Amino acid sequence: MTGLPKIKHPLYEIIIPSTKLQTTFRPFTVKEEKILLTAHESEDPKQISLAIRQIITNCVNDVDVNKLATFDVEYCLIKIRSKSVDNIAEFQIPNPENPKERIDVKINLNDIEVHYHENHTNKIKINDETMVVMRYPSFHEIEKIAGTSVDDSLALDIMLSCIDQIVSNDVSYTLSDFSNEEIQEFIESFTAEDTKKIKAFFDTMPEVKYEIKFTTKEGDEKTIIIQGTESFFM
């Protein structure tokens, strides 16, 4: 007696926002949907992160979820959801001005894209001779600093660890080629203003968000922006 047939799933193209890598993904299965639902019902951030990690690893080809930027992860998950269940997501959100009032929301997930800040750049000028080139923090790194403030030493260390290259007098240096001591010495020479410039890189990073216009019970027209993976999976 032969085993049951294997179900072939359709593949869809996707471009990873931070790297512009073109790859493919498949819809999630019943098994993976259960993983996501169980994690969401637990309301445990660690369980939700593990579920997201598992689903993207299973469904998206040629990517390492631990190296993806946060907005890559959100974008991939939304695209997977749109092909797995329905591209129309319907849920309720609280009115920011009146939390007791719930607002019905309907979103076409295919309309959700990554938004780029007009002043955002990964090239930060330290002085006339020196510039640093930043990389986006990975999903794994963001998990580490969840719940901390930007002033915490761990958050600051991760921010500074996202310096990918240093360009000085037209010579490019890749930090992975240097020892931790050499990198630390370089970073400790930063002024408060230099650190502020690096923080601006993180404050203006691309983000997945969606603008919703709605009418309150009083007939007032309002606009609200929703963002973050959980916002689209309520």
DSSP state of 110: G
For 213, the 3-state DSSP assignment is strand
Give the pLDDT of the chain (234 residues) as one tens digit per residue.
577 878 888 999 999 999 999 999 999 998 888 888 888 888 888 888 889 899 999 999 999 998 999 999 999 999 998 999 888 888 887 777 777 888 788 888 888 889 999 889 999 999 999 999 999 988 888 776 655 444 556 567 777 788 899 999 889 999 888 888 888 888 888 899 998 898 899 889 999 988 888 777 777 788 888 776 655 554
Distance between CA 93 and CA 213 in Å, rounded?
A: 12
Does pTM surpass 0.85? no
Three-state DSSP class for residue 13: strand
Kindly state the DSSP code that residue 142 receives in the 8-state scheme. H
The Cα 13–Cα 17 span in angstroms is 13
